[in-house]
Amino acid sequence: MIKTIAKPAERKQTACGECRSTCQSACKTSCTVGNQSCERITREQKIERK
Amino acid sequence: MRHIFTYRDKHYIYDVGSGSLHECDERTARLLQGEKIEISDEECKATLEEIEGLRAQGLLDASETQERPIKSNEVKALCLHVSHDCNLRCKYCFADEGAYHSAREVMSLATAKAAIDFLLKNSGKRRVLEVDFFGGEPLMNLGVVKETVAYAKAEGAKLGKKFLFTTTTNALLLDDETIRFFNEEMENVVLSLDGRKEVHDAVRKTVNGKGSFDAVLPHIQKFVQMRGDKSYYVRGTFTAKNLDFSRDVLFLADCGFENISLEPVVTDIEELAIKEEHLPAIEAEYEKLCDAYIAREAAGKGFLFFHFQIDLEGGPCLAKRVSACGAGNEYFSVVPSGDIYPCHQFAGDKEFKMGNVFEGTLDETIRRRFAENSLFTRKKCGDCFAKYICSGGCSANNYHYAGDLNEPYPITCAMMKKRIECAMHVLAERKSRKK
């Protein structure tokens, strides 16, 4: 039996370049790419919440 | 590509092409891994139907992206080394205990302003810019940090641009006034604390050789108390001396910290360095931490461990995932002299000096060398399940390990892969609880 846990949502924007820099050096803990959210969508959601 | 893995008694299929995560029973996992098992016609048919159903939805065996990496000439972020000096003498410091193999010095306000001008001038159409105050210890030059923030905000406003500021500090000089300043101006603050007192004090010493734990812990606790819901990370390092590091993460959580990161040391010091022989113990420790993490979350006492977060549903676009970190192209470090380097890990390495903020130019040969990096230039990443999550890792680590920006550092890779599996398990358990 196979159960789907997560699948990517359909994206409205791609390659817009709005994302934050993604330093992966251990000394900075900025982010690993996969830990990040899409900056643009996050920002739009914040605006929607307001 | 499928990555089939087992965590305790749970079996997962991560479909690399689509980025989907599925859970399956043991027999299905064994079948999918090509193992010959006794199976009835009925079971075989049912399993094949499930697989075909997922394939039809694009959730299994999905083709992998040929999306082009995001590459522009816009500079979006600067790491400002406001202090090449430090009030601690941490044994494992990659930055030569703050001095970066050079004279101990701090950045002048004129240099910091020139760096901000450089960023604004080269930021193109980008509206949100990032500045990270870094060291050494940035609070040893707090006046310049404050004046730089004010200058950047004023100059940015003239051009309709906004700055996000971050500071990374050892917290030794952190007082109430600085905390208030941070809360007003810093989007994120990273505070260094390695965990248990004996672990922290063994490596993070003052200039007099004493452990710094007792001095910094109350400062960090006060900071977190005053921080409210704004971003911060209490960030530590583990070494070969504390391979039982899950205890340090849980200790930090017990101190009341909700956002925690603990990173493997990068050092050549024999007694501290993480070596291949340590990997089995480290992987087991991540699992131990993962179990405790899930148990605490289920009991309503959860915290956030940086590496156990994963956003499979709403993460960055594929173009971002195949782009490398941006160092040397859209992100740079500026040292007290105003010299520009691809990132803080290259600071002081003359081979990688790219220019100076007072001249305002960049070495385009070095820039191209970094700009051309992507997942597609990292050949060894091609058959790795983690590639769209880690994006090929840290260029500096790669370079310092193999002399090649595109040659992944295998020890980091192994730890990354284990953390990703743990993060996927955390996600599955969280979803299962919600149901």
Q: B76 vs A21: CB contact, 8 Å cut-off?
A: yes
Contact A1, B25 (CB under 8 A): yes
**pLDDT reported for residue B3:** 97
Q: A38 vs B314: CB contact, 8 Å cut-off?
A: yes
Please name the residue that has the structure tokens 């101190």: B255
**C-alpha span between B136 and B145 (Å, rounded):** 13
**C-alpha span between B327 and A32 (Å, rounded):** 14
**pLDDT reported for residue A50:** 45
Decide: helix, strand or coil at residue B109. helix
Q: What amino acid is encoded at B282 in this protein?
A: I
What residues pair up with B191 in beta bridges, in sequence order? B169, B234
**C-alpha span between B331 and B326 (Å, rounded):** 6
Contact B234, B260 (CB under 8 A): yes
Nearest residue of A to residue B231, measured between CA atoms: A30
- DSSP 8-state code for residue B206: B
Q: B390 vs A29: CB contact, 8 Å cut-off?
A: no
**pLDDT reported for residue B416:** 93
pLDDT tens track for B351-402: 999 999 999 989 999 999 999 988 889 999 999 999 988 888 888 988 988 8
**C-alpha span between B53 and B24 (Å, rounded):** 14
Tell which B residues from 23 to 62 touch A, by Cβ distance under 8 Å.
23-25, 28, 47, 50-51, 54, 59
Task: Take residue B35 and report the two structure tokens written for it.
Answer: 């193992």
**Helix orientation angle between B142-158 and B176-185, rounded to the nearest 10 degrees:** 20
Is B168 part of the contact surface with chain A (CB cutoff 8 Å)? yes
Q: A18 vs B128: CB contact, 8 Å cut-off?
A: yes
Nearest to A15 among B28, B319, B397 (CB): B319
Residue B420 CB neighbours (<10 A)? 23
pLDDT band at A33; cut points 50, 70, 90: low
**pLDDT reported for residue A12:** 59
Is A47 part of the contact surface with chain B (CB cutoff 8 Å)? no
Nearest to A25 among B313, B396, B431 (CB): B396
Alpha helices in B362-407 (DSSP H): 364-371, 387-390, 395-402
CB proximity list for A11: less than 8 A, separation 6 or greater = A38, A41, B317
- DSSP 8-state code for residue B418: H
Alpha helices in B229-271 (DSSP H): 246-254
| Smallest Cα distance from B128 to chain A, Å | 8
Nearest to B22 among A4, A20, A22 (CB): A4
Cβ pairs bridging A and B (under 8 Å): 180
**pLDDT reported for residue A36:** 66
Tell me which chain A residues have a C-beta less than 8 angstroms from the C-beta of B264. Answer: 26
For residue A49, how far is the Cα from the chain centroid? Answer: 18
- Across residues A37-49, what is the average pLDDT? 66
Q: What is the mean pLDDT of each run of 10 residues along chain B (435 residues)?
A: 95 95 94 87 89 94 82 89 95 81 91 98 92 94 98 98 94 98 95 97 96 98 96 94 98 96 91 96 98 97 93 83 87 96 93 96 94 90 92 87 90 94 97 86
Contact A32, A22 (CB under 8 A): yes
Nearest to A14 among B312, B319, B389 (CB): B319
Q: B326 vs A22: CB contact, 8 Å cut-off?
A: yes
Q: B325 vs A20: CB contact, 8 Å cut-off?
A: no
Contact B168, A26 (CB under 8 A): no
B25, B325, B430, B435: best to mutate for the A interface, most A CBs within 10 A = B325
B272, B311, B387, B433: best to mutate for the A interface, most A CBs within 10 A = B311
Residue B350's alpha-carbon distances to A18, B342, B395, in angstroms, are 31, 11, 17
| Smallest Cα distance from A39 to chain B, Å | 8
